[in-house]
Amino acid sequence: MTSKNNDAPWIRVLPLGGLGEIGKNMMVLETVDDIVVIDAGVLFPEWNMPGIDVVIPDMDYLEENADRVRALLITHGHEDHIGAVPHFLKRVNVPVYAPAMAEALLHEKLRQARMRDEAELKVIHPGEQHEIGELEVEWFAVCHSVPDSTGIAITTPAGVVIHTGDFKLDNAPVIGPPSDLGVLADICQDGALLLMADSTYAEEEGYSPSDREVVENLPDLIGAAENRVIVSSFASQIARIQIVADACIKHGRKLCVLGRSMINNTKIGRDLGHLDIPGDLIISAGEANSLPGDKVLILTTGSQGEPQSGLVRMSRNDHRDIKIQDDDTIIMSASTIPGNEVPVNDSINELVRLGARVITNHERRTHVPGHARKEELRMLLNATRPKYFVPVHGEYRMLKSHADLAVTTGVAPENAFILTDGDILELDRNSAEVVDRIEAGHIFVHGLGMWDESGNVVIERRSLQHNGVVTVAFSRDTVDGSLVGRPKIVSAGFVHVEDSDGLLRETEDALTPVLDQHLKKPIEWGDLEDVVRTTVGSFLGRRTKRRPLIITSAIDV
């Protein structure tokens, strides 16, 4: 530890695992004796990480300091905040404190990972105070796009630290209370030491729209439809389920909920009392198919063009239960997450081709985002009056915009820190600085495999996807190492089958004398691979202007 040399009690914060969105998935807060971790989420892979399921933070630092880690504190139930909890608990098994909806989702997630018994899950409620080590932790209610979202206020020896989680101010949320600025102002009556706040919409002027706009628009659209209505939304958007159910009652439609996550979340929402839906409103897909179109509403996933989702299966005409019909009205009750534009657009085209009318958020407001804009962020800054400010949960441009905003509300420019994952910011009542930086990498998860970034897997895949692969195999004599027979060259994803045969035989012809020559004397495997790669690579490069990945194998016979 390279702590600053003074006597005031200090704390440190350390963001981990954000893939460019800093402090999004995990935030470490530590004192001399205690560490708590806020959230343990997954990231979804970016376009240049082909074939990766999810990305999780590298947690080596936590394992190394496991004796001081006291708890995992969850703000809300979205995957980018709870998705890595099973991985976290395998590394550091400490109690997990979570608000009700997040706890219910975690319960299911840990059950699927066969870890339910060993995990200690604790449900928290806003307003309760929990002593964790020398920290006093209080969750406060915030509005966001999943029920029971919270921010966290932590009273430390150095002062009060606020982490907002994901939030917006909505004066009339459909489920739960408005964000509780009052209790925050109360907790921060002497000003917060540190505020860490959601930056996702920090570039946007004004206030975010209220869910009430959706409450007004969705039922109108549903009422105007003449045949079936299919609504696509995020499964965690419980409030949207309520709005849709209410509209069904109003317009005499039955509600058919499709898809495992949508069904599961509807159940959790009802169990927790967030959803008020009469049991006889809900029908099965079979019943939906037997009713007239204007008596049916189908709620499903697929707003992001996910290949296995309900709506996308319908667009490909291969959904088990539901076939798109002429004049079906499809309402995309979501906005498109950046990066998903092309698959979303493809699925809309196919749905229109099948005869449906598709209404998106662009045409009519069918969705509002769950993140605060500039004026809401100013209100938060005014309510908490932090000495230090760390924008979290956003790309660099958003963090920068948020930091600039904080300065306009009175934070000293030198006290607003845009951190990078792995930066250890140490602060006390008098000063703050980045005192250290650890390797804060990412772990790529695919199937049962996990690798850190030092592995070649992702790099090789990028090369494979752009240029294909050429494999070179040859046999050599076990005794003297000399070439036996001819080398054999095969390719995939490189050239058209019809064109390739002659080209690859010519490449074998070119390689044979070179190999023969090099195998006459002892040679290291790495050097031999280089010879093959250079010979084959430049021969094919001249002929095709492309550079496939080249794999060499030798068989000793």
Other CB atoms within 10 Å distance of the CB of residue 141:
21
362: annotated binding-site residue?
A: no
441: annotated binding-site residue?
A: no
Q: How far apart, in Å, are the Cα atoms of 272 and each of 184, 209, 395, 413?
A: 25, 26, 34, 44
Binding segment for a copy of itself (CB under 8 A), chosen from 105-113, 163-171, 259-267, 453-461, is 453-461
Shortest gap between Cβ of 540 and a copy of itself (angstroms)? 10
Complex with a copy of itself: residue 291 or 354, whichever CB lies closer: 354
Complex with a copy of itself: residue 207 or 396, whichever CB lies closer: 396
Compute the distance between CA of residue 343 and CA of residue 519 in angstroms, rounded to an integer.
51
Compute the distance between CA of residue 155 and CA of residue 157 in angstroms, rounded to an integer.
7
Residues 481-520 that bind a copy of itself (CB under 8 A): 484-490, 492-499
Residues 206-245 that bind a copy of itself (CB under 8 A): none
Three-state DSSP state, 153: strand
Residue type, 187: I
What is the sign of the dihedral through the CA atoms of 398, 399, 401 and 402?
positive
Q: 55 CB contacts (<8 Å, ≥6 apart)?
A: 17, 19, 42, 43, 44, 45, 49, 442, 443, 444, 445
Burial class for 207, CB neighbours closer than 10 Å (0-12, 13-18, 19+): middle
Please provide residue 209's backbone torsions phi and psi, each rounded to the nearest 5 degrees. -70, 155
368: annotated binding-site residue?
A: yes
Query: Per CB under 8 A, does 410 bind a copy of itself?
Result: no
Complex with a copy of itself: residue 183 or 551, whichever CB lies closer: 551
Query: Per CB under 8 A, does 44 bind a copy of itself?
Result: no
Q: Which of 34, 39, 198, 211 is catalytic?
A: 198
Complex with a copy of itself: residue 1 or 448, whichever CB lies closer: 448
Query: Per CB under 8 A, does 407 bind a copy of itself?
Result: no
Our answer to whether residue 371 is catalytic in this structure is: yes
Other CB atoms within 10 Å distance of the CB of residue 412:
11
Residues 48-67 that bind a copy of itself (CB under 8 A): 50-51
Residue type, 135: L
The site for a copy of itself, by CB under 8 A, has a size of 75
80: annotated binding-site residue?
A: yes
Query: Per CB under 8 A, does 536 bind a copy of itself?
Result: no
371: annotated binding-site residue?
A: yes
Query: Per CB under 8 A, does 412 bind a copy of itself?
Result: no
Q: 38 CB contacts (<8 Å, ≥6 apart)?
A: 26, 27, 28, 29, 73, 74, 75, 152, 163
| Bridge partners, residue 95, by sequence | none
* Binds a copy of itself by CB under 8 A, chosen from 216, 220, 341, 439: 341
166: annotated binding-site residue?
A: yes
Query: Per CB under 8 A, does 464 bind a copy of itself?
Result: yes
Q: Write the binding mask 162 to 201 for a copy of itself: x where contact by CB under 8 A, - elsewhere.
A: ----------------------------------------
Shortest gap between Cβ of 142 and a copy of itself (angstroms)? 26
Our answer to whether residue 198 is catalytic in this structure is: yes
Compute the distance between CA of residue 380 and CA of residue 372 in angstroms, rounded to an integer.
10
* Binds a copy of itself by CB under 8 A, chosen from 191, 449, 517, 538: 449
Query: Per CB under 8 A, does 46 bind a copy of itself?
Result: yes
CB 28 within 8 Å of CB 16: yes
147: annotated binding-site residue?
A: no
* Binds a copy of itself by CB under 8 A, chosen from 111, 250, 260, 543: 543
Query: Per CB under 8 A, does 32 bind a copy of itself?
Result: no
Q: 437 CB contacts (<8 Å, ≥6 apart)?
A: 420, 422, 423, 424
Shortest gap between Cβ of 13 and a copy of itself (angstroms)? 20
446: annotated binding-site residue?
A: no
Q: Which of 163, 371, 402, 442 is catalytic?
A: 371
Other CB atoms within 10 Å distance of the CB of residue 459:
12
| Bridge partners, residue 138, by sequence | 129, 153
Radius of gyration of the chain (CA): 28
Residue 141: both structure tokens together = 């209610």
Query: Per CB under 8 A, does 43 bind a copy of itself?
Result: no
Q: What is the DSSP letter of 174?
A: S
CB 382 within 8 Å of CB 409: yes
Residues 354-393 that bind a copy of itself (CB under 8 A): 358, 363
Compute the distance between CA of residue 161 and CA of residue 191 in angstroms, rounded to an integer.
10
Q: Which residues are annotated as a binding site for Zn(2+)?
A: 76, 78, 80-81, 144, 166, 393
Sequence ranges of the binding site for Ca(2+): 51, 53
**Residues tagged active-site:** 198, 371
Residues flagged as binding site for substrate: 367-371
